[in-house]
Amino acid sequence: MPILKSVMNRRREVFSVGISDDLQSTIADMVDGRRGILAADESSGTIAKRFDSVGVESTEEHRRFYRSLLLDTEGLGQYVSGVILFEETLGQKNGQGRPLPQVAAEQGIVPGIKVDKGKGPLAGAPGDLITFGLDGLEERLQGYREQGARFAKWREVYPISPRNPTRLGLTANAEMLARYAAVCQCCGVVPIVEPEVLIDGDHSIERSAEVNEMVWHEVFHALHEHGVILELMILKPSMITPGKECAKAPPKQVAEYTMRSLRRSVPAAVPSINFLSGGQGPEEATANLNALNQMWQAPWQLSFSYGRALQEPALKAWEGDSGNAEKAQAALLKRARLNHLAMLGEYRESQEEES
Is 236 labeled as catalytic in the residue annotation? yes
Rounded to whole angstroms, the Cα distance separating 56 from 39 reads 20
Q: How far apart are CA 334 and CA 172, in angstroms?
A: 40
Vertex 111 angle, CA 109 and 115, to 5°: 150
> Which residue from 259, 269, 201, 262 is spatially nearest to 234, judged by alpha carbons?
269
Query: Are 215 and 260 in contact, with CB atoms under 8 Å apart?
Result: no
Annotated catalytic residue: which of 114, 236, 256, 334?
236
CB 223 within 8 A of CB 193: yes
Distance from C-alpha of 44 to C-alpha of 86, rounded to nearest angstrom? 9
Between the alpha carbon of residue 11 and those of residues 185, 224, 340, the distances in Å are 9, 11, 34
Whole-Å CA distances, 118 to 19, 164, 344: 28, 20, 34
Rounded CA-CA distance 196/165 in Å is 12
DSSP 136: T
Peptide bond into 271 cis (omega under 30): no
Residue pair 90/147 in contact by the 8 Å Cβ criterion: yes
Separation of alpha carbons 346 and 97, rounded Å: 39
| Eight-class DSSP state of 299 | S
Query: Which of 305, 250, 241, 296 lies closest to 273 in space, CA to CA?
Result: 305
| The one catalytic residue among 194, 196, 213, 218 | 194
Which helix (DSSP H) or strand (DSSP E) does residue 288 occupy?
helix 282-293
Is 194 assigned a catalytic role?
Answer: yes
> Which residues participate in catalysis according to the annotation?
194, 236
